[in-house]
Structure 1
Amino acid sequence: MIHTGLQNKVAIVTGANHGIGAATAKALAAEGVAVLMNFLRMPHLDGVKGQSAAEIEITTPGLAYYNHQRSKSAEEVVQAIRERGGRAEAIEADLADPATIPLLFEQAEALLGPVDILINNADYCTADTFQSGSTDLAPGGYAITEITSETHDRHFAVNSRAVALLIAEFARRRRARGIHWGRIISITTDGAPGFFHEISYGASKYALESYTRAAAEELGRYGITANIISPGPVQTGWITPELEAQIAAETPLGRAGQPEGSR
C-alpha cells in the first residue's frame, strides 16, 4: 500500500461540481483529505440552431449533456464523499469576484481547518475567434463568437486573475501560520500556447501556467510546491460519441481521457 501522507489534510478544489474537479475531490477524500468544493452553476452554451436538451438524450455526451453537467450543484459530490466516510463541504461562488477568494479560505478554515492543498481546476470557457462572422462550431458543438472585451475579460477574470489571487491567499495564510508545507496544483490544457477558435480560453490558461511556474520558484523555500497538469481531451461531457471516436483514433492509448483516470 502506498501512503500518500495526505491523511487529515484540507484541500480547496475549485470547479468541483462535475468532471475533473469532482473526480479530484473524490480522489483526495479517499486519501483522508477534507475537501471544500467551490463551484458555480453555469448558463447553457449556445449550439446548433434548434438543438436542445429535449432533442438529445441527456445521458449521451454532447452539448445538451455538457450543459446539464455545468448547471449542477456540487451536492451529489458532497454526498458521495460523505457516504464513504469522508469530510466534504461545498460553496457556490463566482471566482470572477475577487471577494470570493478570501471567503473560500475563511469557509474552509471554519468548517474543516487550515488549507494545505489548493487545486485550481475551475475554468470559464466560451468559444471566441479573430474571424469576423465565423459560422463554425467549436469541437463540442457550441457556437463561436468574435472576440470582444467581455469575452476576453471574463476568461482572464476566472482562469488567470482568480488563480493568482488564490495562490497569493494560500501562500499568505500558510506563511502566517509558520507551516512549512503546501501543495498547489493548477489544471490547464494542452492547447494553452494557442487555441484555435477558443483564443481567450487558451491565452488565459497560458497565463495560469505562468503564475503557477512563478509560484513554484517563489514559494518552494516555504515548503510549498506548485505543479501544472495539462491533459489532452477529457470526457467531461462535451465530447460527442463521433468526436470521441476521432480522438481515440488519433491517441496512442486509443481513448479519450477520463476524469477518474484510466479504466
Structure 2
Amino acid sequence: MYAALVTGVGRRRGIGAAIARRLAHDGWNLALGYHADYDRRVMREDSDVELLAEELRSRGVEVALLPGDLAEPEVPARLVERAEAELGVLSALVMSHCESVDSDYFSTTVESFDRHYAVNVRAPWLLTRAFAAQVGPDGGSVVALTSDHVAFNLPYGVTKGALDRLVIAGATELAQRGVRCNVVNPGPIDTGWMDAETRRKLSAMTPGGQLGSPQTAANLVAWLLSEQGRWINGQRLYSDGGFNPSRG
C-alpha cells in the first residue's frame, strides 16, 4: 500500500481534507500535516483533523497526524521523517498548506511578508528535498496547490508565483531520483472564506455559473498520483472550470 504526506489538512471542509479523502478511497495510507493556530488565526475555525482521521481510518487506511508550524525551518524535514517512521517510505507529497492574509503594498508588514515566504516557498523547498531524499526505487510524485490571486493579497500571490517555479524546477532536478513534480491551480474554492456576494461574483466568472469544490481539486491530484498520471511532469495545471475574471 502506498503512503502520502498531505499538508494543510486542518479542517474537514478544506481542499487538503478532500484530497486526503480521495486518496484514502484509492487505498493510500496518509500522514496529515496541519497547524491548528493557522485555522484559528486566519480561518476563524478550530481544527477538526482528529475527526477526519477517524473517518479515514474507518475506510481501512493508516493515518498519522503531524502537527507543526511550517514557518519554522526545522519542521518540514521533521514532518517527512515522522511520516516515514509511521507509514514507511513515502510515494507522494501533496502540499496544500499556505499562509494567506489579505494585504496590499502599504498594509503588508515585513513580518507578514517573511512569514508568507517561509510557509509558501521555503517550507515546500524543504519538504520536497526531504521527500526526494527518502523515495524508493519506484520514485514518487510531488503536487503543490497554487493560485493566480495577487492584488490585495500581495504576499500570498507573490509567494505562490515563487512556489510554481520551485516545484516545476523539481521536475528536472529530481528526475534522476524518479520524482515527478506538478502544480495544480484549483481556481476559487469556497472552504469557508466566501460570503454570499463573493460566491455570486466568482460564479459569474466561471462558464456555466458554478464554482468548483474541494473535491474537483482532489480528483485531479489523485489522478496525478495514479499510474495513469505518471507521464505528466513539470506542469502547471488548471482545474478551475474555465474561471476567467474578465467575465465578471
TM-score between both structures, scaled by the size of structure 2: 0.82
Whether 2:60 is the aligned partner of 1:67: answer no
Deviation at 1:221, TM superposition (A): 2.9
1:83-139 deviation per Cα after TM superposition (whole angstroms, max 9, x unaligned): 1222212111001112112221221122111111000110011111114xxxxxxxx
Whether 2:225 is the aligned partner of 1:230: answer no
For 1:247 and 1:128, the matched residues in 2 are separated by 20
Whether 2:139 is the aligned partner of 1:184: answer no
Deviation at 1:149, TM superposition (A): 1.0
Which of 145, 153, 172 is the matching residue for 2:133? 172
Q: Tell me which residue corresponds to 1:9.
A: 2
Structure with more helix by fraction: 2
Q: Tell me which residue corresponds to 1:118.
A: 93
For 1:24 and 1:164, the matched residues in 2 are separated by 21
For 1:106 and 1:254, the matched residues in 2 are separated by 44
Q: Is the 8 A contact 1:39 1:73 kept in 2?
A: no
Q: Tell me which residue corresponds to 2:157.
A: 202
For 1:148 and 1:190, the matched residues in 2 are separated by 21
Whether 2:201 is the aligned partner of 1:246: answer yes
Amino acid of the residue matched to residue 67 of structure 1? R
Which of 155, 178, 186 is the matching residue for 2:116? 155
Please identify the structure whose Cα radius of gyration is greater.
1
1:22-70 deviation per Cα after TM superposition (whole angstroms, max 9, x unaligned): 000111111110000000012334xxxxxxxxxxxxxxxxxxxx422xx
Amino acid of the residue matched to residue 146 of structure 2? T
Which of 208, 216, 221 is the matching residue for 2:176? 221
Q: Tell me which residue corresponds to 1:44.
A: 41
For 1:103 and 1:221, the matched residues in 2 are separated by 24
Q: How many percent identity over aligned positions?
A: 33
Unaligned runs of 5+ in 1: 1-7, 46-65, 132-145
Name which of structure 1's ranges 221-230 and 150-159 shifts more when overlaid on structure 2.
221-230
Q: Tell me which residue corresponds to 2:26.
A: 31
Whether 2:91 is the aligned partner of 1:96: answer no
Q: Tell me which residue corresponds to 1:58.
A: none
Deviation at 1:240, TM superposition (A): 0.9
Q: Is the 8 A contact 1:40 1:73 kept in 2?
A: no
Deviation at 1:180, TM superposition (A): 3.5
Q: CA RMSD in A?
A: 1.4
1:169-204 deviation per Cα after TM superposition (whole angstroms, max 9, x unaligned): 111122xx5x2421000100122xxx1101100011
Unaligned runs of 5+ in 2: 218-248
Q: How many residues align?
A: 213
SS of the residue corresponding to residue 80 of structure 1 reads helix
Name which of structure 1's ranges 104-113 and 13-22 shifts more when overlaid on structure 2.
104-113
Amino acid of the residue matched to residue 33 of structure 1? W
